[in-house]
A and B are shown apart, each in its own frame.
Chain A
Amino acid sequence: MTLQKATIIALYAVLELAAEPERQLTAVEIAEKYDISAHHLAKVLRDLGRGGLVDAVRGAGGGYRFTGNAKRLTLMDVISLFEDVEAETDALPARAAGQEIAQGLRFVLGEIDTQAVATLRSISLSTMLKLAARRPWAGVEMNPVKRGARRAG
C-alpha cells in the first residue's frame, strides 16, 4: 500500500506530537526532524487542527501540540482525514463480456485492501509509538516477498 505524501507527513506529525502531548513543537522543528517541506507540513497541520487532532498555540514559544486520545485514535483515523483508502478503485467495464475478469481482479485486490484497512484500524497511535520504540524490524528482513521475487527473476 502506498499512501499519499500529505498522509505520510500527517502521520509523522501526529505521532511526533502524540509521543509527548505536553510538548509544543513548531512546524519547522518537525519538518527538520523528518526532512520534509515545512511549507507542506504547515498545510497538513492546519488540516489536522481542523480534524481536532492538534492545537495551534500562537505567539512566541508557540507551536503545535497533540489534543487527541492516543489510545483511541488509530492510524486509520489519521489517514482518513487525507485520503479514502477504502474507496472502490476501478469501475467495472460497461460491457458484460469484460466483467468476469474485472470482477475477479477486483476480488483479489479487495483481499489486499481488507487486510490493509483492518491493520490500520487495529493500531492506535499509542501502540504505534510503542512499536517504534521496540524496533521489531531490527534483524528482520524487510519485504521478503519482493526480495524473493527478484531472486526468482
Chain B
Amino acid sequence: MPQRMTKTRAEPAPIRPANETDVPGVIALDREITGLLKAEYWHEMFERYGAHPDASRVFLVAGIGSRIDGFIVGEVRAWEFGSSPSGWIFAVQVRPGRRVQGLGSRLFGAVCDSFRAAGIDRVRTMVAPANTVIHSFFRSQGMTAGPFIELEMRLD
C-alpha cells in the first residue's frame, strides 16, 4: 500500500519574554528576513526593552531552545498631540517557514495582553506602504487606520 504523504505542522513555539541568550537568534532571524546585520541595534533593543521587562516595555520571542521563530517588540508611549497613552508595536518578525500558522497572531495577542495589563486600551503601529505582508498582517489582526497622518521632510 503506498504511503500517504502528509504535511505536518511544526509544533507551536512557546512565547516568552526575551532573555539575553535569545539576542543572537533574534539577530539571525532579522538578518535572514531583511538581509541586514544589525547586531548592535538588537543588543541595544534588548537592553532597553528586554533587560528589565514590565507591562509597558515588551520584548517577546517565540521559539524552542536557541532557535527563534518569531519576536515582537513594543512599549507604552505617552503620546503628544493630545493622544492618551497607547501601545506601540515597532518590530515584529516571523520566520518565513513558520508563517500562516498563527504564530504572528499569538505574538500580537501576547503584546496586546501586556498593554492591557498596563491599563492601555489602544495599540498602534506604522508600516511602509510597499510592505504588503506586514500591512496585511496588522489588518488581519483587526487594526485599521488611526487618527494621525505621518509627515516627514528631508533636511539636506
Contacts and interface: CB of A to CB of B under 8 A. Distances in A.
Interface of A: 74, 114-115, 117-119, 121-124, 126-127, 130-131, 134, 136
B145 A119 contact: yes
A104 to B, nearest CB: 15
Contacts, number: 33
Contact of A118 (B130, B142, B144): B130
Interface residues of B, number: 11
B103 to A, nearest CB: 16
A130 B136 CA distance: 13
B67 interface: no
A114 B129 contact: yes
Interface string B122-156: 00000001101001101110101100000000000
A122 B141 CA distance: 12
Main secondary structure of the interface of B (DSSP, over half): helix
Nearest to B100: A71
Contacts of B140: 124, 126-127, 130
B136 A118 contact: no
A119 B135 CA distance: 8
A131 B139 CA distance: 9
Nearest to B147: A144
Nearest to A122: B135
Which has the most chain A C-beta neighbours within 10 Å: B132, B138, B139?
B139
